[in-house]
Amino acid sequence: MAEDASLKTLNEKLFQKTQLRTSLVELRDDFQSLVNEKNAEIAALDTLISELQTAIGAVHPAPTLASVAPTYFSRGSGNTAITLTGTGFVSGSTQVYVNGVAVSTTYTSSTVVSATVGSANLTGTGTVLVFVRTGTPGGGSSNTLSIPVINGAPTINTLTPNTISAGAPATQISVTGTNLYNNSTVYINGVPATTTLSGSNLLATIPASALGVPGYVSVYVVSPTPGGGQSEQLLFTVT
């Protein structure tokens, strides 16, 4: 009888341990399924994060302009190269606009682009407006910079004629040089004369009163602001 009781006890313990093992295996399998499920969710999130990072990297930044060189143009200049510095420039996408018109743009870096301002924009005093625009995705237009167009300082090279005999009547002269404009004025002995632009030369008249005796007549040119200034002096000879 004692042996039967002991065997019964052992069988009960075996049953209990077997049941416990079964429960633990089931619990382990449940946890493994949960781990597999969460691993799958993590992998999906990793894929989504990667896709979002790629998409964010492809969005163009909004460009800004900080400065432009040169800082001014001389009136009447030919085609003039400009260099723009700023941020957010994108190769193949950022475009320079001059007075609202898109122009050929050279990309140097994300902070430097260059372009050319056509001579047609520089025929008179005023301002040239420049900005850049970057295409989508993202991108957009930058702030606008204003570049002044000013009169250049005049120079004079020759007077035609440059000599005359004393006692001659009032004589028209042609003044050649640079930065001579339709609002430049020829001065005769310090007195402003009626001045006309003819081609690239200025025409003015030396009055007879300045030609009465042998000597010299002072001739120079003044161009108005913005910019402008007074040229050097040439001497017209009265023999």
- For residues 61 and 168, give the distance between their C-alpha atoms in angstroms, rounded to a whole number: 72
Q: What are phi and psi of 51, to 5 degrees?
A: -65, -40
Helical (H) or strand (E) element with 104: none
Q: pLDDT digit string (tens) for 209-220?
A: 999 999 999 999
Do 181 and 202 meet the contact criterion of CB atoms below 8 Å apart?
no
Q: Which pLDDT score is estimated for 146?
A: 98
| Phi-psi domain of 183 (left: phi exceeds 0; alpha: psi -120 through 50; beta: other) | alpha
Sign of CA dihedral 217, 220, 222, 223: positive
pTM, whole model, 2 decimals? 0.70
Do 85 and 94 meet the contact criterion of CB atoms below 8 Å apart?
no
For residue 232, the SS3 value is coil
Quick one: CA torsion of 67, 70, 71, 76, rounded to 10 degrees?
Answer: -140
Do 229 and 187 meet the contact criterion of CB atoms below 8 Å apart?
no
Q: pLDDT digit string (tens) for 21-76?
A: 888 888 888 888 888 888 888 888 777 766 665 666 678 999 999 999 999 999 99
Q: pLDDT digit string (tens) for 98-137?
A: 999 999 999 999 999 999 999 999 999 999 999 999 999 9
Give 14's DSSP letter. H
Do 151 and 179 meet the contact criterion of CB atoms below 8 Å apart?
yes
Q: pLDDT digit string (tens) for 74-91?
A: 999 999 999 999 999 999
- For residues 7 and 53, give the distance between their C-alpha atoms in angstroms, rounded to a whole number: 68
